[in-house]
A and B are shown apart, each in its own frame.
Chain A
Amino acid sequence: MDMAAPIPTAMGPPPMICDALTLAQWLSPSFPVGAFAYSHGLETAIQDKRIRTPKDLEDWLVDILLQGSGRNDCILLRMAYACDHPADLEHVDATARAFAPSAERLRETHLQGTAFSKTVRAVWPGEQPDLCYPVAIGYAARRMGLDLSLTAALYLQAIIGNLVSAAIRLVPLGQTDGQAVLAALTPLCRDIAAQTEGKTQDDMHSMAFLSDIAAMTHETLPHRIFRS
């Protein structure tokens, strides 16, 4: 007997749409990881008047994406996704921690990852250890069988979106300016997510030196509203 052609309306949505919906939930600002509390050193750069315009913000974020934690996080997320054994996952998490450039940046990735895992454990029962943020996302995506490249691209857009909203709270930058910066950076998020495919910890590098230094000196800012 011939199989009937599938009727899309009776089959439910394609898997990619289900993946996108889960990721949109995980990476939404309402998912309780406390992302709003971290500026990744932006607060220092803004107080020092190094970021004053939408163009300044975009340039700063491009460096973080291409040469700093954006690209590194993407590699860590992919490494976590590839882990077959919990012991390998521990190694990826130790790598994430050892690459952290400062105390606050370590807390930023550690506390967000821990909060993410706690909620995921409660809502989607199963093993979800406390891990640094990109490692926790990569592992959860693997466990739920979500598309890896989609996870990586949406993760990058979410962290940049969070930094844009931090900048809006700190500089005389309007909501529309912020969205324009995020839209301008979205192709880069897509490209880095794709280019990090097959990369390992040997390909990670930390060259956003002034972003990292800004995170270090954030610890001694007299007036600050962010935790990093």
Chain B
Amino acid sequence: MTLHQAGSLKMVFPNTHRRHMNAVLINTAGGITGGDRFDIRAQADAGASLTLTTQASEKAYRAQIGEIAQLTTTLTIENDARLNWLPQEMILFNHCALHRRLMINMTQSARLLMVEPLIFGRTAMGERLTDCIFRDRITVTRDRRPIYLDGMDLSGDAAARLARPAIANGAGAMASLLFVAPEASAKLSQIRAMLPITAGASMIAEDILVMRLLAADGYEMRRSLIPVLDYLSQSTLPLSWRL
């Protein structure tokens, strides 16, 4: 593999005793604010096994008016490779401004476990997202065909929208999960048994499992998410993910 890093984004590789490689992304600036540009690229070569996570939760801070931060992640998974994209929570502060894009390109025999946890405001201090800009887009393609597309636009009074009955009913945190592997359908019933009533899982193709989870706050989200991630990553969940 090759490593190129610049600016406030670093990557470290904790020693592990498995054939599996772990990489931890560290944002030494401590968060994201308006005008920032982050560009993350990683590739799991044929046959490789790679887990990417972040050292801590990421924070989208209050931005100056007119400035929008850009965070773009591009991941490639080659034949017979496995990639776990397991960043910790993105915490949206009120008045944040962020456009985020995650693109994952994989081949037919590649495997993927992806999670994107999101926290809507610093709920512990009672913050509500009354005015923010957050656009998010996830595109996963396999042999160039889209297999999973997701998008969000929480611009404006996000709290009012998240309070709506068919949106989040006031939930403070949300996670999206995608698992692409031949054994995915065999995992569905076990995952369903782990989920609270504010979550669901389903197969959108024979080998593609999707899950959406809403929770009152970040703590409740982790409590539901960690057992699922442990199960799907075969207990290789990075230490930084522990409660």
Partner of A206, one of B145, B152, B164: B152
Interface band, chain A: 35 or more
Which residues 214-228 of B sit at the A interface, judged by CB distance below 8 A? 214
Stretch touching chain A among B23-31, B41-49, B103-111, B199-207: B199-207
- CB proximity of B151 to chain A, nearest CB, Å: 4
- CB proximity of A167 to chain B, nearest CB, Å: 13
Query: Do A202 and B202 form a contact, CB below 8 Å, given A101-B210, A210-B165, A210-B166?
Result: no
- CB proximity of A205 to chain B, nearest CB, Å: 4
Does chain B have a CB within 8 A of A196? no
Stretch touching chain B among A61-69, A79-87, A118-126: A61-69
Does chain B have a CB within 8 A of A46? no
The answer on a CB contact under 8 Å between B149 and A63 is no
The answer on a CB contact under 8 Å between B146 and A95 is yes
- CB proximity of A161 to chain B, nearest CB, Å: 18
A59 to B164, CA, bound (A): 8
The answer on a CB contact under 8 Å between B202 and A101 is yes
Partner of A208, one of B140, B145, B166, B201: B166
Query: Do A204 and B212 form a contact, CB below 8 Å, given A63-B167, A106-B204?
Result: no
Q: How many residues of B contact A (CB 8 A)?
A: 33
- CB proximity of A69 to chain B, nearest CB, Å: 11
Partner of B168, one of A48, A202, A210: A210
The answer on a CB contact under 8 Å between B161 and A207 is yes
Query: Do A98 and B202 form a contact, CB below 8 Å, given A59-B165, A209-B167?
Result: no
Which residues 172-215 of A sit at the B interface, judged by CB distance below 8 A? 201-202, 204-215
The answer on a CB contact under 8 Å between B212 and A103 is no
The answer on a CB contact under 8 Å between B192 and A220 is yes
The answer on a CB contact under 8 Å between A94 and B145 is yes
The answer on a CB contact under 8 Å between A205 and B166 is no
Closest to B151 in A: A205
The answer on a CB contact under 8 Å between A210 and B161 is no
Query: Do A98 and B147 form a contact, CB below 8 Å, given A103-B204, A205-B153?
Result: yes
* Chain B contacts for A207, CB-based, 8 A: 152-154, 161, 167
Scoring A56, A209, A215, A220 by chain B CB atoms within 10 A of each residue's CB, the highest score goes to A209
The answer on a CB contact under 8 Å between B164 and A213 is no
8 A/B residue pairs, CB under 8 Å, sorted by A: A98-B140, A102-B210, A202-B137, A210-B166, A213-B199, A214-B200, A216-B201, A217-B197
Binding site for A on B (CB under 8 A): 137, 140, 145-154, 161, 164-169, 171, 174, 192, 197-204, 210, 212, 214
Binding site for B on A (CB under 8 A): 45, 48, 50, 56, 59-60, 62-64, 67-68, 94-95, 97-104, 106, 201-202, 204-217, 219-220
12 new A-B pairs (CB below 8 Å) besides A60-B166, A102-B202, A210-B214? A63-B166, A98-B147, A101-B210, A206-B150, A207-B152, A207-B154, A209-B167, A210-B168, A212-B200, A214-B166, A216-B200, A216-B201
Nearest first, the 10 A-B pairs at minimum CB distance are A216-B200, A63-B166, A102-B202, A205-B151, A213-B200, A98-B146, A211-B166, A98-B149, A216-B202, A60-B166
